[in-house]
């Protein structure tokens, strides 16, 4: 009597696929079917290659369940219960579902009887399989974490663009080898984004126009690829393990629906920064350049024009001192012209549930822009401030070099490899090792030696770049000369670049305005009744026609309290001539100059 049956086989890892364990399962099931009189058509041989037993979303299993629900099969042959599922609850669910459809389930590595004892043993096997899976996962996680803490490269998923992953051998550990042709492309991307100011789309266009090959050599350069490269700390010499973790998915996006992946209920999320484990790798760019790239990303978020039709000088820099919201540009039209204001978002009642949260009044755009620009030009006219800051940073870079420790470690590894190669040659000369052993072990040591030499050369270039970037005195002097000559005729976008290089934020209060810039100023000494004045006195402003920054404002001059070596505070409601005279300094420290 012919008994139709279907078989199901599953493996969960690529290594099992390479070792053909699924083929051995199919062979064992086919042999059992022939010996017991079962007929298994080729289309009823369901296989799931590389699918975990902890999920029910498997193509072969779905097809088997659909076939059983249609009443077309009577028997299903499976090698063992853990091939059906690694979770006991899923095993029970599938067994009951197939039983309701009138399908007999036969496991080759399980009791074949239908007694209560046999069923209990099968259930025990399912629970043990689930325990083994949890045990293997936990051991693997702990083992990888321990290897990452030891600085092993093996735990990383793969080498990014610019590196080549070299597997471990009996004599050496795995490591990243720098691919110089790709490393030059990485340096160009960082340089174009940080120094040349190109956007990601423009950089991708340049690379595609020059026909620079990607890692796969089959695709084009795209903006998401460049975004990931510029955010990858491995290019600064610090790869990280454990950056992401698997968590339940928050929502199903349209792209997932179009790709048919709506059944996935999990996604990778970034873990807290303090839980990352750092692994040193060869650096392709300096820490300073990588930090500049991250700073540029933050600036792009802050200063993105979005739907701005006409740029303004202080866009993205104004912050309300009373409520903390930003200020945006608004306008009102008279019979003769349009007047532009900077208005606090907290004043707009429709933006907040309980109405307006701030009563800070709008401020005229053209007057505030003129005052801030005048202050910035005045700061740049004094060469002693920039000279002192550059000297301080150059001295700090020479004393505390963050790359010195990495260079010392590489020098030690280089000396160790040289001694190992010398010992091998000595052993061959004294007939302690054969020529075949020498040929097997020497190429690996030479590869590591070339990788260390390439990284040392990269560190030397980084140190030269840092010294060259810090020596900017002559360049800044020329820039100040050009700025004084053309400061009044520059376009708004050009002034924006200068202001955003120096100004961190501008606090707009009810009665005063504070400019927080990134040029530290000398310590101040009390010499007036209005508060604390700087010992360094900038040139006095040219007295011109005076006007109010805001109409209907308060005209009482407030007492100026102590402010920063990187701040300038002046009354908001005074005339323009009085605004510059009432400056004082903030106690906050300054940031980077450029």
Chain-centroid distance, C-alpha 311: 29
CA distances to 75, 218, 233, 520 from 291, rounded to whole Å, are 63, 31, 10, 21
| Contact in structure between 51 and 45 (CB atoms under 8 Å) | no
| Contact in structure between 342 and 506 (CB atoms under 8 Å) | no
**Domain architecture of the chain: domains with CATH:** 3-134 (3.40.50.1390), 163-248+266-303 (3.90.1750.20), 310-594 (no CATH)
458: closest CA among 291, 284, 292? 284
The pLDDT tens digits for 476-525 are 566 666 666 666 677 888 888 888 877 888 888 888 888 887 766 655 44
Cβ-proximal residues to 548 (8 Å cutoff; 6+ apart), any chain: 364, 367, 573, 575
Q: Is 339 left (phi over 0), alpha (psi -120 to 50) or beta?
A: beta
CB neighbours of residue 117 within 10 Å: 9
Backbone angles phi, psi at 537, to 5 degrees: -105, 115
Q: Which DSSP symbol is given to 349?
A: G
DSSP of 414-443: HHHHHHHHHHHHHHHHTTSS-HHHHHHHHH
The pLDDT tens digits for 299-324 are 888 777 776 777 888 888 889 988 88
Q: What is the pLDDT along the chain (594 residues), one digit of tens a residue?
A: 667 889 999 887 655 555 557 888 889 998 888 888 888 888 999 998 888 887 888 888 888 988 888 888 889 999 888 888 877 778 888 888 888 888 888 888 765 555 666 666 666 766 777 677 777 777 787 788 888 888 888 888 778 999 988 888 777 778 888 888 899 999 999 999 988 888 899 999 999 998 899 988 888 999 999 999 999 999 988 888 888 877 776 666 666 666 655 445 566 777 888 888 888 888 888 888 898 899 888 888 877 777 677 788 888 888 998 888 988 888 888 888 888 889 999 999 888 888 899 988 888 888 888 888 888 888 777 767 766 766 666 666 555 455 566 677 778 888 888 888 888 888 888 888 888 888 888 887 887 887 788 777 766 665 555 544 444 454 556 666 666 666 667 788 888 888 887 788 888 888 888 888 776 665 544 444 443 333 344 434 443 443 345 544 443 333 333 334 466 666 655 433 333 333 333 333 333 333
- Residues pairing with 178 in the sheet: 163
Taking the model in full, what pTM does it have? 0.55
């Amino acid at each position: 009597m012919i008994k139709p049956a279907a078989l199901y086989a599953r493996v969960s890892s690529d290594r099992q696929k390479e070792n053909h364990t699924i083929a051995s399962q199919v062979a064992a099931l086919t042999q059992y079917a022939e010996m017991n009189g079962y007929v298994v058509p080729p289309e009823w041989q369901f296989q799931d290659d590389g699918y975990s037993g902890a999920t029910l979303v498997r193509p072969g299993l779905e097809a088997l369940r659909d076939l059983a629900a249609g009443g077309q099969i009577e028997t299903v042959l499976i090698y063992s219960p853990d091939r059906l599922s690694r979770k006991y609850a899923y095993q029970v669910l599938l067994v009951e579902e197939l039983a309701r459809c009138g399908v007999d389930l036969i496991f080759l590595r399980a009791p074949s009887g239908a007694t209560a004892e046999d069923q209990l043993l099968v259930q025990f096997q399912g629970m043990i399989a689930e325990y083994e899976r949890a045990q293997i996962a936990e051991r693997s996680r702990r083992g990888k974490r321990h290897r990452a803490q030891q600085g092993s490269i093996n735990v990383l998923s793969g080498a990014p663009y610019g590196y080549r992953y070299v597997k471990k051998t009996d004599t050496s550990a795995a490591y990243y080898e720098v691919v110089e042709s790709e490393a030059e492309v990485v340096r160009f991307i960082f340089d174009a984004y940080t120094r040349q100011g190109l956007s990601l789309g423009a950089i991708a266009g340049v690379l595609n126009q020059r026909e620079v090959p990607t890692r796969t050599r089959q695709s084009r350069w795209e903006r998401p690829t460049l975004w990931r490269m510029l955010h990858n700390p491995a290019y600064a010499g610090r790869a990280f393990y454990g950056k992401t973790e698997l968590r339940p998915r928050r929502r199903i996006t349209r792209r997932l629906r179009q790709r048919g992946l709506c059944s996935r209920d999990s996604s990778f999320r970034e873990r807290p920064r303090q839980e990352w484990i750092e692994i040193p790798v060869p650096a392709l760019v300096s820490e300073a350049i990588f930090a500049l790239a991250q700073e540029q990303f933050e600036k792009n978020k802050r200063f993105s024009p979005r739907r701005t039709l006409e740029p303004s000088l202080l866009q993205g820099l104004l912050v309300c001192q009373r409520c903390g919201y930003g200020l945006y540009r608004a306008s009102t039209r008279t019979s003769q012209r349009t007047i532009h204001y900077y208005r606090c978002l907290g004043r707009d009642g429709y933006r907040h549930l309980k109405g307006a949260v701030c009563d800070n009044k709008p401020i005229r755009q053209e007057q505030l822009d003129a005052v801030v620009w005048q202050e910035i030009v005045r700061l740049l006219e004094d060469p002693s401030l920039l000279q002192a800051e550059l000297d301080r940073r150059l001295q700090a870079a020479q004393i505390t070099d963050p790359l010195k420790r990495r260079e010392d470690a590489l020098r030690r590894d280089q000396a160790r490899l040289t001694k190992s190669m010398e010992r091998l040659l000595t052993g061959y000369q004294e007939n302690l090792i054969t020529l075949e052993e020498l040929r097997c072990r020497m190429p690996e040591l030479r590869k590591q030696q070339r990788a260390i030499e390439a990284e040392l050369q990269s560190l030397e270039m980084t140190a030269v770049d840092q010294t060259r970037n810090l020596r900017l005195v002559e360049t800044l002097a020329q820039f100040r000369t050009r700025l004084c000559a053309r400061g009044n005729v520059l376009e708004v976008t050009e002034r924006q670049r200068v202001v955003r290089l120096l100004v961190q934020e501008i606090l707009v209060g009810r009665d005063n305005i504070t400019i927080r810039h990134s040029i530290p100023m000398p310590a101040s000494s009390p010499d007036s009744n209005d508060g604390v004045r700087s010992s360094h006195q900038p040139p006095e402003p040219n007295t011109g026609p005076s006007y109010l920054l805001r109409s209907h404002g308060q005209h009482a001059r407030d007492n100026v309290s102590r402010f920063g070596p990187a701040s300038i505070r002046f009354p908001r409601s005074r005339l323009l001539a009085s605004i510059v005279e009432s400056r004082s300094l903030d106690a906050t420290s300054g940031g980077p100059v450029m």
